[in-house]
Amino acid sequence: MTAVLELKGVHTHIGAYHILHGVDLHVPASEVTMLLGRNGAGKTTTLRTIMGLWAASSGSVRFKGRAIGGPEAQQRTPEIAQAGIAYVPESMGIFTDLSVKENMVLAARAARRAEELDSRRLEWIFGLFPALKKFWLYPAGKLSGGQKQMLALARAIVEPREVLLIDEPSKGLAPSIINNLIDAFHQLKAQSTTILLVEQNFQMAKALGDRVAVMDNGRVVHSGAMAELAEDARLQQRLLGLSLGAHQ
Amino acid sequence: MNATTTTAGSASTRSVLKLKAEFDWKPIALLVVVLLLAWPLIGSSSTWVTLSVAGLAMGLIIFIIASGLTLIFGLMDVLNFGHGVFIALGAFVATSVLGGMADWTASDSVLRNLGAVFVAMLVAMAAAGALGLAFERVIVRPVYGQHLKQILITMGGMIVGEELIKVVWGPQQIPLPLPTTLRGSFVVGDASIEKYRVLAVVIGLIVFAVLLYVLNRTKLGLLVRAGVQDREMVESLGYRIRRLFVGVFVAGSALAGLGGVMWGLYQQSVVPQIGAQVNILIFIVIIIGGLGSTFGCFVGALLVGLMANYTGYLAPKVALFSNIGLMVAILLWRPQGLYPVTNR
């Protein structure tokens, strides 16, 4: 299985804090890899380190075999994004003073104005998230939490990207909107997009994930097929401290 | 079923209407209130018109200078206390250019006079922009993210700049007379309006319109506005914000140079400390406007310009305090400034 994204022995320090303690992660192409773990396990730091927003102090991050992170890599966040990795942070990173349209134009590097956006792709996005079409000209700051999450995801896919890094998209959202997001992820998966998804919602993880990596204390402590973890209640209890029964 | 649909429809219309009511008119209303309140206080309509035009001209010159500074702060959190050096350089370059074009400035032709002023403005902008490029690279870049050091080193940079200006142009005050046809006033009814102030208003409005166009209608402007809100996300979308920042710094410095020419002509003389004198005013303006907000900077600058002229006439003793008082009053009303930039 080809790894499109590979982390080996990645350590990340934020100021005086040592957050990642040698992360090894293998993200196969065209699959959805779920990154699970309790709060503070290092999931967000892992995504930010891949994106170059925090520098890996040792180890290596490779994208399609090329070093993009680690002491030897020269790549910075804009180059990493240009290489084909899109990032949706937990905070969503919406430009609230800009309209929905302006947010989308900004995310499409090839477009200088809305008319230059790929219209077929835009229609597909509107099909996934109709609210964005309705509020196209309105300030993004006025959207609801769910609509902002849709915009954050739409921004990441306004142009084809090889890898999507998405941090807790379901956080605080109503079940109907979560279903909407799951549907969008299924369609992206069908287009062979590689997705690395941090998620606390185990039902969503089960519905989407092909592979899973579980983090604890800044390390990956388990990796394997999602189906395997979904079926093994004892493993879930040990790794995540959750009983699937309580979540069904 | 129909009833349900109608209810849902009207709820949706309401939410759309709520979204549409996005523009905040209150600061504009405050500007109008200040203008109208001053009228009965001043008593004479002609004096009120003269003072208002003078206030708007002063406000627009301050806006030209401060607009770059607010974007520089908004985009990279850089507190540039050395912005005044670009104003001073612009003004001194103008003395040399206009001095060298004495036959144009002394001519009775409006075109030749305006031509000389525009050449002085362009040369001043180029000089201030070039100095801005060097200033960013040598002084600002090593202290990104360190506010205290930024304040100290940029102030130090301004002091060094002022001393260098003294080396080139001398420490004394240099007169900067207006070209022949720009002297004097238009008389409208009983009110006398200085010609140069009208020119300053026109140039200020052109700069404002160009800035608004670039910020709202071009991708570059979108990047600047987005960067002011969340520069990390702009980088995550694949844009090099450092490069954008250098561009904004150079453009902001060039605008300060243009403002320096206009301020020098407004005062009709130039001293090496001109930058430090204006520095306080421009910081008041960007704080009143909301750090990082261009529109806020525009409204704030007009308020400061009007207030300085009205209080200078009505109560000269409190004129010095008036702008600080205005800032305190506005921050009590809106602690983040008139048009706060969200996410900051």
Give percent of chain B above pLDDT 90: 74
A88: in domain: yes
Q: Å from A149 to nearest chain B CA?
A: 14
- CB A102 to CB B230 under 8 A? no
- 3 state SS of B194: strand
CB A196 within 8 A of CB A35: yes
CB A6 within 8 A of CB A211: no
Chain A stretch 198-227, residues whose beta carbon is closer than 8 A to a beta carbon of chain B: none
- In which region does residue B77 sit, left (phi positive, over 0), alpha (psi from -120 to 50) or beta (all else)? left
Q: Is B38 exposed, middle or buried (0-12, 13-18, 19+ CB in 10 A)?
A: buried
B234 Cβ under 8 Å from any chain A Cβ: yes
Range of the domain at A234: 30-52+82-211+225-247
**CB atoms closer than 10 angstroms to residue A147:** 20
Mutate which: B18, B229, B230, B236, vs A, most A CBs within 10 A = B236
pLDDT at B12 over 60: no
Backbone angles phi, psi at B187, to 5 degrees: -110, 115
pLDDT at A163 over 60: yes
CB B221 within 8 A of CB B26: no
Q: Residues in chain A, how many?
A: 248
Domains and CATH numbers, chain B: 56-333 (1.10.3470)
Rounded to 5°, angle at Cα B293 from B287 and B296: 70
CATH number at residue A186: 3.40.50.300
Question: Considering its fold, how many domains does chain A have in total?
Answer: 1
Distances (CA, A) of A2 to A9, A28, A164: 19, 6, 17
pLDDT at B11 over 50: no
Gyration radius of chain A over CA positions: 18
> Of residues B151 and A245, which shows the higher confidence score?
B151
**Strand pairing report for A85-88 and A163-167:** parallel
A219: in domain: no
* B305 vs B31: CA distance, rounded Å: 11
Give A205's contacts (C-beta < 8 A, 6+ positions apart). A34, A36, A197, A199, A212, A226
Residue pointed to by tokens 């301050």: B62
A64: in domain: no
pLDDT of residue B258: 96
A141 Cβ under 8 Å from any chain B Cβ: yes
* B344 vs B339: CA distance, rounded Å: 12
Q: Which of A87, A112, A141 sits opposite B236 (nearest CB)?
A: A87
- 3 state SS of A86: strand
Determine which helix (DSSP H) or strand (DSSP E) holds A101, and give its type and residue range: helix A100-107
> Of residues B251 and B344, which shows the higher confidence score?
B251
Residues in A closer than 8 angstroms to B229, CB to CB, are 95-98
Q: Is B141 exposed, middle or buried (0-12, 13-18, 19+ CB in 10 A)?
A: middle
> Of residues B343 and A112, which shows the higher confidence score?
A112
Give the model confidence (pLDDT) of A184-221 as tens digits. 999 998 888 999 999 888 888 988 999 999 999 999 99
CB A98 within 8 A of CB A51: no
- 3 state SS of B265: helix
pLDDT at A158 over 70: yes
A65: in domain: no
A124-141 average pLDDT score: 93
pLDDT of residue B213: 94
DSSP per-residue letters across B130-193: HHHHHHIIIIIGGGTT-HHHHHHHHHHHHHHHHHHHHHHH-SS-EE-PPPGGGSSEEEETTEEE
* pTM of the complete model: 0.85
Give the model confidence (pLDDT) of B270-288 as tens digits. 999 998 888 889 999 999 9
